[in-house]
Structure 1
Amino acid sequence: MITNKYNLNRRAVAVGVFLAHSPLIVLAQDEPAIEEIMVTGSQIRGAEISGALPVTVLNFLDIDALGVDGGDELLENIVENGMNFFNEAENASGGVNSSRGDVGAYNLRNMGVGNTLTLLNGRRLVNSPGYQTELLGGDYVPTMSVNSNLVPTYGLERLEILRDGASAIYGSEAVAGVVNNVIQSNFEGFMVRAKLGAYDNFGATDRTISGKFGRDFNDGATNVSVFFDYYQRGRIRASED
């Protein structure tokens, strides 16, 4: 009886020692291999532009060297801009809704004024409230566009012209291209420019006054600028023609 009790105690001690060391044996085992899982997906944010784009840039020095005072004069110096023939047919004019004679428009590649997207600092400009009649496809149709004469030429920092169609990015308004007018945002001071023009065979005169004022606030964090353009063109009488 004594021998059996001794053997039973020895077996209990052996089992206790085995249980005490069993966690060490588990920790020593190798971790199972994890299979590599690849997830393929795509997120289309919009059309991606790659490669060089046909862009013409006129900076402030270029515009100042041209001596232009309005949007129409600036358009005459842009090779990519076509001709604007507004309200040529009296029977197709818009009457009281037709635009006045001081309305200009961008017409890149001569594809119609409604096919050129006009921006101001990268944002779309609102179309002129009136409309013009334009000869398109052999017929006179009403068209609406941005008045290019509303952009202060004297306050332009640069003029960016995308000479290729960009309807896939900007929509159907940019079939002919995009024109972006960038206004000076850090001008400080006050400047005034005046010009008087006359004709050899007519008594009419053209008067132009342009000015701009700018000032920084909040230690240069805020800039307030005001641009002013006044243009008066004298009439030419039929008797002088």
Structure 2
Amino acid sequence: MEDLTLDPEDDGSPEPEEVASEDSTSDQRKFILFGVVALLVGLGVGALLMLLLRNGETNNSAVESRATSTVSSTVPTSDSQVLQSTIVPESSIEPTPTNRPNAPRATSPAATSPPATSPPATSPPVTSPPKPVITSFSIPKTVSCAGEQVPYISLSWTTSNASAVSLAIDGPGVYKNYQGGSGSDSVPFSCAGPHTYLLTATGSAGSSSKSVTVTGV
């Protein structure tokens, strides 16, 4: 049988070294647990700060947009004027470039050749007055030379467009001039031979002539 004799100095309590080891292990666990808790708290605080910052930025953006819209809606006036808000009917509001419908682009017209210009109207030609015309010249073709006296012959004429008439006998020289376009006369006839009587009508557009030869019998 084993000897179960107890040492009078052994009271059953753990040794001091064992107690110190257990205290050190407990302290390490507490330190690790505290570190984990602190890390979790730090992460939570960081997440909360990030959320607050984002909310603050969102609120600031909303405030800035409201302030911008308020400033843009105000109309600057002179010192003597008072700002008044006027309700404008929607029908009178001109669409801004952003909400204005796209207007069709104006297309340049196709190049066309210029119309042919007609020549300038010419003034009607100046018509010259008509030439004079001898419409009749009456004179006998034969004259009786049986008597001793010098015979006379009667002649008459009518013209148009003539202002004067001349009579020549057997030559270029003028025997007599007559005013007007119509007339009559009686001239001597020499029985020595035939004679040619030339009647010339003169007007503003020239002259015309007619001759008759008279023979004595």
- TM-score norm. by structure 1 comes to 0.21
Higher fraction of strand: 1
